[in-house]
């Protein structure tokens, strides 16, 4: 087996376990440094107490599921192998694409032999072409959800109102007000797009992003 092929197979095995929700099995394929890297890459504002690599993988998975729906598969798109420093010939950096019912997300997997030394998404967010950034203004807002206060953002078209308005509601998973998942900011894209058409909007963080909720009490803040 060539070094590139071995790196791709290692990355595929890890990515498949992650996508299937087998977080313990995926974690077992990580090196010690790989586990630390996965935890360190998770946004601090979404952490709710101590977190290990399996917890971080689970939170990433829920974020992707909430953004894109059911998972459909993994594709390896590219790999690079080298012998930098003490790396062996079968160390490499592999790009994988996770496919979902409503979109895809790209990630980078760095392999070390038959283990994974690093795993990270490649968030390269680009503002959609349909957005006119000069057509609206934004300001921070707070949503009173009875027992907690949720951070939100109000986008208001420029000009004289009143304006029609909508509330943008997040899906499942842990989301900030922009609905950030990897390189996507779905709720912000929608808010900015409709603001250019004269429609105001309020978007807010998922309760799970900052507040602990018992499994039996999951509901929709409205």
The confidence score (pLDDT) of residue 37 equals 86
Distance CA 168, CA 201 (A): 7
Element spanning 26, H or E = helix 23-28
Distance CA 184, CA 55 (A): 22
Beta strands in the chain (DSSP E): 71-81, 92-100, 103-112, 115-121, 136-144, 149-157, 165-168, 180-181, 184-185, 200-204
Distance CA 17, CA 52 (A): 17
The confidence score (pLDDT) of residue 64 equals 85
Residue 125 structure tokens: 């967010």
Q: Which regions of the chain are under pLDDT 70?
A: 1, 3, 43-49, 78-91, 122-124, 172-174, 182-183, 208-222
Distance CA 68, CA 99 (A): 9
- Could you tell me the residue ranges of all domains in the chain? 3-121, 133-217
The confidence score (pLDDT) of residue 214 equals 62
Distance CA 222, CA 219 (A): 9
- Is there a contact between 140 and 218 (Cβ–Cβ < 8 Å)? no
Distance CA 161, CA 60 (A): 40
* Chain centre to alpha carbon of residue 57: 11
Q: How many beta carbons lie within 10 A of that of residue 216, not counting itself?
A: 5
Overall fold of domain 133-217:
Rossmann fold (3.40.50)
The confidence score (pLDDT) of residue 49 equals 63
Residue 42 structure tokens: 């998770």
Distance CA 61, CA 26 (A): 12
pTM of the model: 0.57
- Is there a contact between 166 and 201 (Cβ–Cβ < 8 Å)? yes
pLDDT tens for 71-130 read 999 988 766 554 443 333 346 788 899 999 988 888 889 998 889 999 887 666 788 899
Task: Report the mean per-residue pLDDT for the chain.
Answer: 82
Q: Tell me which architecture the domain covering 3-121 has in CATH.
A: Roll (3.10)
């Amino acid at each position: 087996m060539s070094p590139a092929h071995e790196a791709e197979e290692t990355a595929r095995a890890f990515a498949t376990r992650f996508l299937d929700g087998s977080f313990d099995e995926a974690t077992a394929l990580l090196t010690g440094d790989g586990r630390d890297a996965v935890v360190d890459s998770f946004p601090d504002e979404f952490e709710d107490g101590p977190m290990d690599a399996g917890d971080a993988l689970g939170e990433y998975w829920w974020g992707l599921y909430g953004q894109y729906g059911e998972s459909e598969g993994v594709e390896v798109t590219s790999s690079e192998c080298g012998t930098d420093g003490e790396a062996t010939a079968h160390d490499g950096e592999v790009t994988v694409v996770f496919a979902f019912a409503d979109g895809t997300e790209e990630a980078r997997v760095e392999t070390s032999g038959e283990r994974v030394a690093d795993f990270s998404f490649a968030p390269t967010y680009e503002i959609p072409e349909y957005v006119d950034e000069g057509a609206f203004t934004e300001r921070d807002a707070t949503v009173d959800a009875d027992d907690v206060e949720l951070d939100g953002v109000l986008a208001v078209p420029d000009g004289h109102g009143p304006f029609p308005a909508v509330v943008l509601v997040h899906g499942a998973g842990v989301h900030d007000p922009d609905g950030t998942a990897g390189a996507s900011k779905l709720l912000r894209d929608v808010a900015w797009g409709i603001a250019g058409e004269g429609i105001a909007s309020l978007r807010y963080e998922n309760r799970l992003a900052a507040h602990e909720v018992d499994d039996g009490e999951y509901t929709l803040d409205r």
